[in-house]
Structure formats: structure tokens, C-alpha cells
A and B are shown apart, each in its own frame.
Chain A
Amino acid sequence: MTDAAPSARHPGAALRMLAILRDLVRRPSGAVGLTLVLGHALLALLSPWLVPHDVTAVSALSMLGQPDALHWLGTDHLGRDIFSRVLMGGREAIWITGIATPLAVMWGGLVGIWFGLVGGRTDDVLMRIVDAFLALPWILKMLVLIVTFGTGDLVLIPTLAFFYGIPVIRIARAATHDVVARDYVQAARARGHRRLDIIVRELLPNVRDALLVEGAMRWSWMLLAFSSLSFLGFGVSPPTPDWGLMIADARGFMSFAPWGVLGPVIALSSLIIGINLTADALARTLGIDRAQKAPV
């Protein structure tokens, strides 16, 4: 924007954000969801200073111990404090998916808008490729990359961002189709604006809401995927605590030490439920119906 313009538009944009936030908090699902998400984010930030025990300290004396005053959620098969590990176990997942989600929405969104604007045969052909890609089970595709390049943040973030950006293409393209037919896009074309100008100025502001909601949804699915990867042993490497990994470790002892699964499961599901509730409320606030958009 120009030098003169920001003074004029920024209060408007900030006011809009505030209004959306206020509306979000007023909805019960928004209030509960946002509380859960913010609580988790806060915990992930502060947990290193909050944990009562060293999360990697192994103790042969207290293996699979029941919950007691010292170990609130008991201990795992290596005698580590489950409560401390649950507190710390979301850090990796939230950090990685928190970076990968915006990346996924950004690249998927831009490509989708571009497809929607170009239309015609190019769009037809490229979308069939996208469809074919979506038809493959996601875990298979991801495992191929991870097995090839190894684990670690530098592989996991781009991998998750890449695969989770593909369904975003579909959503962004559909949202763009609604906008492209509008006369203001035709007007911009008739004036002779470049395609990038049209995408940034005319389309993006009108597709943004749909992308925002989509981003929130993607985040929860990505968290699940990340936990699944950890569960399978391809995510976080031990001894770093992680909910998925903890569930995987504890599931063998579930019959006589169920508390090992309970902690991480509650933590993981409360975060995912929180994100889902927030996305739902956000969609309703922004006037987008998410009910029909099934997870891909």
C-alpha cells in the first residue's frame, strides 16, 4: 500500500480483527475452544519451568508406578514421571505443526487461488493431478519422504507443510471460483492488471476468511498426523517427551497401568477439540459453513 493509505486502512483492519475476536469469544464453542488452545500454548511455553520432575530421568525403582502424591499421573515403563512428560509432551508437536500449518495454508492457498483464477484446461489438468495425489493414503506418502530424508524438524516441517497444503488447494480454488465471477475481478481484468495484482488485491482479501478457517482445521489434523507419526516411531525421537510416542510406549501396559495412556490422550484430545471448537466458532463468525467440508 502507499504511504498515505496505511493511516486510513489500518484502524479498519484492526477494528475488524477486534470485532471478530469479540464475536468469537461470545460464542460458547469459541470461548471454550480458545481457552483450551491458549491454555495449551501457554503450557507449551512455560512447561520447562513448571515440571516437577526431570522428564528424562529414568528410575528402575518406580517403573509403571500408580499415581500418588509424588507422581500425580504415575510413572511409565522406565520410571519417568508421566505428569511432567505430559506437560512437556506437546511442545514438539505444537512447535512443528504451528510452523507447518501457516506454511501449508500459504502455499496451498496461493496455488489454489491461482488455479481458480486461471481456470480452463490448465486448471482441469492440474486439479486431476491433485485429486490423484489426494487419493493416496497420507501416511504412505509421508512415510516415503521421511524414510528417504530421515526425521527431525527440518524434514518434518516441510513434509507436513507440503502434504497438508494439497487439500488447501481444493478449498482455496473453490473459494476463488465464487469470487472470480464477480464483476470487480472482471473490472480489474478489463483494466489490464497483472495476474499477481489481481490475486493479491482482489482475490486474497475475499478468500482470506475461508483460508483462516481452513488453517485452523488443518492444524488439528496435522497435530493428529504428527502424533500418529510419533506413535509409529517416525516423529520425535526418544527420550524427548511426546504425546504420540508416550501413547505408543504405554499401550503395551494398558491392561495393568492404564494411567500411562490416559494423560497424553487427554492432553492431545483436549488440544484438538479446542482447535476444532475454535475453527467452528470462527467459521460461524466469518459466515463460512464448515459442516460440509469433510477432513481429507
Chain B
Amino acid sequence: MSSTGILDIRDLTVGFTGRDGRGRAVLRNVDMQVSPGESLGLVGESGSGKSTLALAAMGYFKRGLRVMGGSVRFEGQDLLALPPTALQAIRGHALALIPQNSGQALTPSMRIGAQLDEALRLHSPLAAERRAARVVELLEQVRLPEPQSMARRYPHELSGGQQQRAAIAMALAGEPRALLLDEPTTGLDVTTQAHVLELLRDLARERGMAMVYVSHDLGAIARVCDRVTVMYAGEVVQSGPVRAALRDPAHPYARGLLASIPRLHDTGLPRALDGRPPAPGETGAACAFAPRCMLAEPRCIAARPALQPDGSGGLVRCLRADETDVRPVIAAAAPRERAALTDEAALTIDDLAIRYRQTGLVARLMGQDPGPATVSDVTLTLRRGETLGLVGESGSGKSTILKSLAGLLAPARGRITVAGGVALPGAVETRSPDQLRRVQLIFQNPDDSLNPRHTIGDILAQPLRLYFGLEGEALRARSAELLERVRLGAHYLDRLPSQLSGGEKQRVAIARAFAARPDLVLCDEVTSALDVSVQAAVLDLLDELRAENGTSFVFVSHDLAVVRALSDRVAVLYLGRLCEIGPAEALFANPAHPYTEVLLGAVLEPDPDTAPVLLARDVTEGAPPARGCPFQRRCPRKPGSICETDQPPVQDLGNGHVLSCHIPVQTGALQ
């Protein structure tokens, strides 16, 4: 068995018993082998079974799931047959798991060193006096700065990326020979994510560890993995070397998935993958992907295809895999219809400053300096029908600005003006119904922004009643019309949000925003809770609605490629200060601000031949310095001490491209 790899899953079928008493498979006849030193990526949409498979690799199954067939072997031992105590000895020791948000799984009341010491006590034979040295060694290994002092800190004293590293150090304490990672960098900033991935990649190579890396992010997979397994509806549809799998995959689903990812250097919107994956037990003896496949033939529905060699060293589950000439073309994003530029301003923000009320009563009475504001000196204009992308790491104030525009957070200073020169009062309570109607907000997670107890009809009725006083038949008709506009039918009116998929829910949220016939729509990470294939469709819908209605968008996202796909203009924020703003093409092609360069450099492309450009020691910050440029402490091109004392001057590079930096830029050189 050892010749086939350290982790060896064969013909594994896992499922649950449905309400009707029938077995429903969540994983179907899955094979997975990983050798020492090899790293395997597991990709697929949510519900594809990739996390279930990763957990199965350590002999763990969620409640209600049971093994219906197959075997799971780790170093030759059958994990499914082992008694619980023997499993325990393997888990966390030879076989470790790093779950999503594992940085937050650290015990908040224990010092990092003590937590590592505990892990060592449980999982290594080291004597007590030798453990302290090993703790420092481990922290050094995950490249945490000043490991000695790091060991004495509490988790809350570490940044998100540092916490994640500490969690990785804990997983390494047992000297695992295989590491399972479930979306380990989801929720981290682009820059932090890139650093953590580099670390994982180097660790795996140095120590000859086997890794199974679960992610929906093909960029991360491309960076870390040697091989990729693509899951669809609980089965492996494609498996092979990373280069072939991400460049020219043989399976139509993998191709569709790749095409739906926005790329940093594409100007248009990616192509959406239509339809939705089948529920467990829904696919019978047919190809699971056939209903969504543009190559589907009658024989695809007649029998479930077997895995077969794809000609480039991998396996593929498709009857038409060898017909290379019919494969759908990847990429070639659809060019966006640009806004017809008028000079009419849809939104003007002038010298905006926002401050969270953090100072206590005593501090205020004593006249203490409250420190720099969360957001400060933000000035920008947005024209009618234009989309402005706001980018920056977490803590850059992009969501704070959106909240302030929506009136949920009154600004400390500054003016907000919407179309027609109407000045918006700060707080939502002081805005008139018409002012409220003009600005609408769409939230990140539709699970949280739609009341679970309301039907879709109730949800859409709220703005329609409030702003237009619609009732009865007119209300229902308009709601139905709105649902048609977001490509859902009137039959959704009586459903509850829980009966809808993630993408459908977000469409309802979009319909609710457009029910108000707004001038300005604020989008707060609206696609980050969605699968990539769904994301493409939602982006497409947003852009279509913008073009039809002449609506202006402020689009906040941490995903620069998504911003690139949708935006006409992009503003880069660092710690609540505007670094650079300009037309999307110019800004992405020729970033002028050092921070924009850092951000763009950290973006991971779903292409194994590209590598992120990273700064050697780059740590995210929490609060801006009291004086000078906000980026002074991290800047890789800092020209001198002037950055620490003087506010950076505003440089106009022409064509609306404005920069806030001490480094002089020659206007001609950029164009």
C-alpha cells in the first residue's frame, strides 16, 4: 500500500439517509491518492463534497453521514476500521487539519507559547525542558517576526495573518506527515493570503509533507498545488497535474469554472456558468454535469461516464473528453458596455471624515485627543452610469464609507451630494424619503440581509410600499416584474429565503435595491459569499441593470479582479485615506502609488506560471500614523523622512487619475 501514497482513498462513497428512507450519496466512488511531499488541490462549487472528502481523509464524517463503501488508508492503516483511540493518536499528530478561520480557533486567554507547548505535550515525545526551545523553533518556522516575544503574546495581540501562522505552527507541532487544509486563507487580505500561501508551499517542500488543499480559489490552488482534483456533485470529474488542469482542462465543467473567474488583466466580465449543481441523490445513472453541459449528447444521459485518461497525464470523467476541437473556449471575457459619459455627477464626496465613537466619557471630559479618524480626507466624484470600485485591505475603511453613504454612520466632517446637487444629510433619520430612495445598499451575505421569516414577496414589498405606496395587485405585479428583471420568475414570490440558493438570494437582494429606482447603488462585497460560477452571473446582472437604468454603483470588494471586471474607475484606500483614484485601465496597467503596486502584486492568478510579487516583511497595520503619509511604515519606495512629517501632495496625472504621494510622477511617462 505504501507505494500508492501516504493518503489513499479508494472508491469511497459517503452519504446520508433522506427523509424518504433512500440513501443519498454526498461522495460517489471517490479515489484520491497523495504521496509524501506532494500537494493536492481539491476544487469545486459549494456542495460539491470537497470538504467532506478532506475530512474523510482523516476518518472523520459529519453527523448523519455514513460510509457506504470504499476505504480510507493513511500510511497503510485503514482509518475506517481503527478504534477511536487509535484514530485520536493519528489525528493532530501524523495527520493534521487546518480548518477555515483556524486563527480564530486559538484560545484567547492563553499565550501563543503556552498553546504550542500544550500541542507539543500531546503530540510529541519531547521532555518539558526541551519544549520551550521547540516552541520558538516552530514560530520561527512559520516566519513570525521575533518568535521569542511572539510566544509570550496573546492571540488578540496578533494580526489575522499572524494568527493563521500561529495556527499553522500548532498543526506542525505534531510533525505531521500529511496536512489537510480547508480554505485556510479565505477571509484573509490579499497580501496576507499571498504570504501565508508562500509559507505553506515552502513548508511542504522543506519537510516533505503531503498536503490536501481545499479551496474555491483557483489562484491559491495554482500557487500551492502540484495536482488538482475537480469535484462536481460528489464525484471526481477531473484530476491531474496543476498546469494542465488550470490551462487546458479536458472536462467541460472545469473549463466553465475557469472561464467564470475574472482575471486581473482582462477588461470585461467573465462568462457565467448557467444552471446549478444537482442535490445529493438527484443524479441517477447519467453524467452529473450533463444538464448544464453545452456538449451534452443523448449518450451522456444514458450512462454515467467513467474516469479515463485525458491525454495530459490526468483523468477525466467525460465521454467527449478526447474531442479537443469541440471544447468551449476559456476566458475571452465579454467586453463591458461602458457608460455613456455625461458630466452629470451622481455622487460627490467632499472631504469626508468618519470617526467611530470609541472614546469614553471620562476621556472626552478630560479633553483627550481622540486620535486620527477612521476615514479622513476622502474626496471623489462619480458620474451618472459609472461604477466606482473601492479597494483596499480590511481596515481600509471601504465598508465604513459605504455605511456612511447609506446614512448608517453619520460622518464627522464633509459633504455628500447626490445627482441634481442634492446634499445628503448624514444620519438616515434626517434624510427625506426621496433622498433615502435615491441611495440603496446591497450587502455581502444574502443569508444575513434577507429576513428568514419573510417570503420573497414580503421582502420586495417593503421598499415598494415605503417609497411608492404600492398595495394589492399593483404591488404584486411590480414585485413580479422586479423578479423577472433579475431573471427569477414570479413563482418565487411565495418562497422563503431558505428555499433559495445563494445566488438566487443575492438576486432577490439586488431586486430589492432596484425596487426603489435608485440613482446610486452601494455594493458591499456582494459576490464574496457566492461561488465563482454564480459570481459571474451576478456581476453580469449588476452591469446590465446599470446600463439599463443609468444607475451609478459604488462597488466595494477585496477581490481586485472582480473590481477590475466591473469598474469604470477605481479608488485605492489605505487606513481610511485615499491613495490613488483613476480610470480602471490606467490604474491597473500603471499603478502609481506604492500601495497600489503592493496590492496588485499580491493578487493570485489561476495560472501556475505566474507568481505574486511580495514584500519581504509586510505586516498589515491597524491604525494610521498621527502625521504624514498613512502608508509611511510599509512603503517599499519611501523617499525620505518627508513622508513622516508632511501630508502627501495630490498629484493630477490627467484623465481623472489622481495620486496622493510624495514621490513625483511624470505625467507623460504613464500614458
Binding site for B on A (CB under 8 A): 2-5, 8-9, 12, 182-184, 186-193, 201-202, 205-206
Question: Is B441 an interface position by the 8 A CB rule?
Answer: yes
Measured CA separation A184–B513 after assembly (Å): 12
Measured CA separation A3–B465 after assembly (Å): 13
Please tell me which one of the listed residues B440, B453, B512 contacts residue A206 in the complex, with CB atoms under 8 A apart: B453
Please tell me which one of the listed residues B450, B471, B475 contacts residue A184 in the complex, with CB atoms under 8 A apart: B450
CB pair B448 A182 closer than 8 Å: yes
Please judge, given known A-B contacts A189-B408, A190-B428, A202-B451, whether A5 and B457 are in contact too, CB under 8 Å: yes
CB pair A205 B428 closer than 8 Å: no
CB pair B451 A205 closer than 8 Å: yes
CB pair B461 A5 closer than 8 Å: yes
Q: Mark B472-484, 1 if CB is under 8 A from A, else 0.
A: 1101100000000
CB pair B494 A8 closer than 8 Å: yes
Q: Which residue of A lies closest to B457 (CB)?
A: A8
- Contacting residues of chain B (405-424) with chain A, CB-CB under 8 angstroms: 406-408
CB pair A186 B475 closer than 8 Å: no
Please tell me which one of the listed residues B407, B444, B449, B496 contacts residue A12 in the complex, with CB atoms under 8 A apart: B496
Please judge, given known A-B contacts A9-B458, A192-B466, A201-B462, whether A2 and B472 are in contact too, CB under 8 Å: yes
Q: Mark B429-460, 1 if CB is under 8 A from A, else 0.
A: 00101001000110111001111111101100
CB pair B475 A192 closer than 8 Å: no
Kindly list chain A residues whose C-beta atoms are within 8 Å of the C-beta of B476: 4
CB pair B472 A4 closer than 8 Å: yes
Kindly list chain B residues whose C-beta atoms are within 8 Å of the C-beta of A192: 428, 431, 433, 436, 466
Measured CA separation A155–B536 after assembly (Å): 65
Task: Supply 28 A–B pairs (Cβ within 8 Å), ascending by A.
Answer: A2-B472, A3-B471, A4-B472, A5-B457, A8-B455, A8-B457, A9-B455, A9-B458, A12-B494, A182-B448, A184-B450, A186-B441, A186-B449, A187-B443, A189-B408, A189-B428, A190-B408, A191-B436, A191-B440, A191-B462, A191-B463, A191-B516, A192-B431, A193-B462, A201-B451, A205-B451, A205-B454, A206-B451
Kindly list chain A residues whose C-beta atoms are within 8 Å of the C-beta of B473: 4
Kindly list chain B residues whose C-beta atoms are within 8 Å of the C-beta of A4: 472-473, 475-476
Instruction: Tell me the smallest distance from the CB of A205 to a CB of chain B, in Å.
Output: 4
Instruction: Tell me the smallest distance from the CB of A88 to a CB of chain B, in Å.
Output: 42
Instruction: Tell me the smallest distance from the CB of B519 to a CB of chain A, in Å.
Output: 15
CB pair B516 A186 closer than 8 Å: no
Q: Which residue of B lies closest to A188 (CB)?
A: B462
CB pair B458 A186 closer than 8 Å: no
Question: Is B493 an interface position by the 8 A CB rule?
Answer: yes
Kindly list chain B residues whose C-beta atoms are within 8 Å of the C-beta of A182: 448-449
CB-CB nearest 8 A-B residue pairs = A192-B436, A205-B453, A183-B449, A183-B448, A183-B443, A184-B451, A190-B406, A8-B494
Please judge, given known A-B contacts A182-B448, A183-B445, A202-B451, whether A2 and B475 are in contact too, CB under 8 Å: yes
Instruction: Tell me the smallest distance from the CB of B524 to a CB of chain A, in Å.
Output: 9
Q: Which residue of A lies closest to B405 (CB)?
A: A190
Measured CA separation A2–B462 after assembly (Å): 11
Given contacts A190-B440, A192-B466, could you give 10 more A-B pairs where the C-beta distance is less than 8 Å?
A8-B494, A12-B455, A182-B449, A184-B449, A184-B451, A186-B443, A187-B443, A187-B449, A191-B466, A191-B516
CB pair B441 A190 closer than 8 Å: yes
Kindly list chain B residues whose C-beta atoms are within 8 Å of the C-beta of A186: 408, 441, 443, 449
Q: Which residue of A lies closest to B512 (CB)?
A: A187
Kindly list chain A residues whose C-beta atoms are within 8 Å of the C-beta of B436: 190-192
Instruction: Tell me the smallest distance from the CB of B324 to a CB of chain A, in Å.
Output: 46
Measured CA separation A206–B450 after assembly (Å): 12
Instruction: Tell me the smallest distance from the CB of A276 to a CB of chain B, in Å.
Output: 27
Kindly list chain A residues whose C-beta atoms are within 8 Å of the C-beta of B462: 188, 191, 193, 201
Instruction: Tell me the smallest distance from the CB of A121 to a CB of chain B, in Å.
Output: 9
Kindly list chain B residues whose C-beta atoms are within 8 Å of the C-beta of A187: 441, 443, 449, 512
Among A4, A9, A202, max chain B CB count under 10 A is at A4
Instruction: Tell me the smallest distance from the CB of A177 to a CB of chain B, in Å.
Output: 15
Among A2, A183, A188, max chain B CB count under 10 A is at A183
Measured CA separation A184–B471 after assembly (Å): 22
Measured CA separation A193–B455 after assembly (Å): 18
Please judge, given known A-B contacts A2-B472, A187-B441, whether A206 and B466 are in contact too, CB under 8 Å: no
Measured CA separation A241–B191 after assembly (Å): 76
Kindly list chain B residues whose C-beta atoms are within 8 Å of the C-beta of A9: 455, 458, 494
Q: Which residue of B lies closest to A205 (CB)?
A: B453
Q: Which residue of B lies closest to A192 (CB)?
A: B436
Instruction: Tell me the smallest distance from the CB of B348 to a CB of chain A, in Å.
Output: 20
Instruction: Tell me the smallest distance from the CB of A283 to a CB of chain B, in Å.
Output: 18
Measured CA separation A190–B449 after assembly (Å): 12
CB pair B452 A8 closer than 8 Å: no
Q: Which residue of B lies closest to A3 (CB)?
A: B472
Among A182, A189, A191, A205, max chain B CB count under 10 A is at A191
Measured CA separation A182–B454 after assembly (Å): 14
- Contacting residues of chain B (230-256) with chain A, CB-CB under 8 angstroms: none
Measured CA separation A191–B442 after assembly (Å): 11
Kindly list chain A residues whose C-beta atoms are within 8 Å of the C-beta of B494: 8-9, 12
Instruction: Tell me the smallest distance from the CB of B422 to a CB of chain A, in Å.
Output: 15
Kindly list chain A residues whose C-beta atoms are within 8 Å of the C-beta of B445: 183
Kindly list chain A residues whose C-beta atoms are within 8 Å of the C-beta of B516: 191
Measured CA separation A187–B440 after assembly (Å): 9
Measured CA separation A191–B406 after assembly (Å): 9
Q: Mark B491-505, 1 if CB is under 8 A from A, else 0.
A: 001101000000000
Measured CA separation A193–B462 after assembly (Å): 9
Instruction: Tell me the smallest distance from the CB of A288 to a CB of chain B, in Å.
Output: 15
Q: Which residue of B lies closest to A179 (CB)?
A: B451
